[in-house]
Amino acid sequence: MKLHKESKGTLIVAILFIAFVGAVSIYYLHLWSLVIMIPLLIMLGLIFWFFRVPYRAILDHTENVVAPVDGKVVMIKEVFEDEVLKANCIQVSIFMSPLNVHICRYPVSGDVIYKKYHPGKYLVAWHEKSSTENERTTVAVKSMTNHQVVFRQIAGYVARRIVFYCNIEDKAKAGHEFGFIKFGSRMDVFLPLDTEILCKIGDKTKGGIDVIARMKD
C-alpha cells in the first residue's frame, strides 16, 4: 500500500510512541501488556489507513467538474462568493470523515489564477459558517470552458493542518492532486449559476473519479 508523503512525521511520532509504551508495558506488565498494545496497534493501523494513496484511473475532462475529495455531499445551494468571484454561484460542499482518503484534487482543468491561505477557527467541518470562519485555503482556476471555479479546503474540529502545493499560473488538471488535509475536514466548490449539478445531498463521492457537475461549454 502506497502512503502519502504527508504521513512521514505522523507515522514517526506514532511508531516511536507505541514502541516506548510497548517496551515499558511489557517490562512491567508482561502478558497484561496486550491490553495496552492491541488498542495502540489498532490505532497505528488506522493511521496507515488514513494516509493511504489508492490508485485512481484519472480521465481527461473539459466541461465536467469532478469530485475534489472522497466523502459525502452535505450542501448544494446558491450563495454569494465574496473573495474571488464576488457574485452569486452554486456551492457544493463535500464532508470528509477521518476514514476517508484526504487527498485534495482539482475539480476542473485549466489555469490557477488565485491562491490564498486564511487562518481561522476550528468549527466542526459541517457547520455552515466553517466556509468563511475556519482555517482554510482558497484556490481559483480559470477552466477550459472559460469559467472561474473557486474551491476551498476547510479545516474542521479535528483537522488542524492544511497543505496545498499549487501556485498561480500552474496548469490544473481535473482529478490530479493539489493538496491534503489531515484528519477530517471539508471542501467547497463554487460553480457558475448555469452549471448542471449532477450530484445530490447525501451522495458518496470518490475524488477524481465521480463527475458532480457539468459546465456549459
DSSP annotation string for 113-136: EEEEEE--B---TTSTTHHHHBSE
The edge-to-edge listing of strands for the beta sheet with 196-197 is 64-66, 211-214, 196-197
Our count of domains for the chain comes to 2
pLDDT at 31: 86
On whether residue 1 sits in a domain, the answer given is no
Q: Which of 7, 1, 199, 202 is nearest to 107 (CA)?
A: 199
Residue 28 lies in a domain: yes
- Do both 210 and 181 map to the same domain? yes
Residue 19 and residue 72 in one domain: no
- Residue of 93, 131, 143, 185 marked catalytic: 185
DSSP code per residue over 50-87: HTB-----PPP-SSEEE-SSSEEEEEEEEEEETTTT-E
Q: Is residue 11 part of a domain?
A: yes
**Each residue's pLDDT expressed in tens, for the chain with a length of 217 residues:** 688 888 888 889 999 999 999 899 988 888 888 899 999 999 999 888 888 888 899 999 989 999 999 999 999 999 999 999 999 999 999 998 888 888 999 999 999 999 999 987 777 666 666 677 788 899 999 999 999 999 999 887 665 678 899 999 999 999 999 999 876 688 999 999 999 999 999 999 999 999 999 998 7
**DSSP secondary structure letter of residue 101:** -
Specify whether 185 is catalytic: yes
Within a domain: 32? yes
128/137 Cα distance (integer angstroms): 16
CA distances from 210 to 15, 121, 163, 182 (A): 35, 30, 23, 22
Does residue 99 sit in the same domain as residue 42? no
Give me the CATH number covering residue 103.
Answer: 2.70.70.10
* pLDDT at residue 64, as a whole number: 95
Distance between CA 216 and CA 17 in Å, rounded?
Answer: 53
The pLDDT of residue 195 = 96
Report if residue 77 sits inside a domain.
yes
57: in domain: no
Question: Would 106 be classed as within a structural domain?
Answer: yes
Q: Which domain holds residue 38?
A: 7-50
Residues 21 and 125 in one domain: no
Q: What is the three-class DSSP state of 45? A: helix
Write down the pLDDT at residue 169.
95
- My answer on whether 107 and 28 are in the same domain is no
Q: Label residues 146-165 b or e (16+ Cβ within 10 Å = b).
A: ebbbbbbbbbbbebeebebe
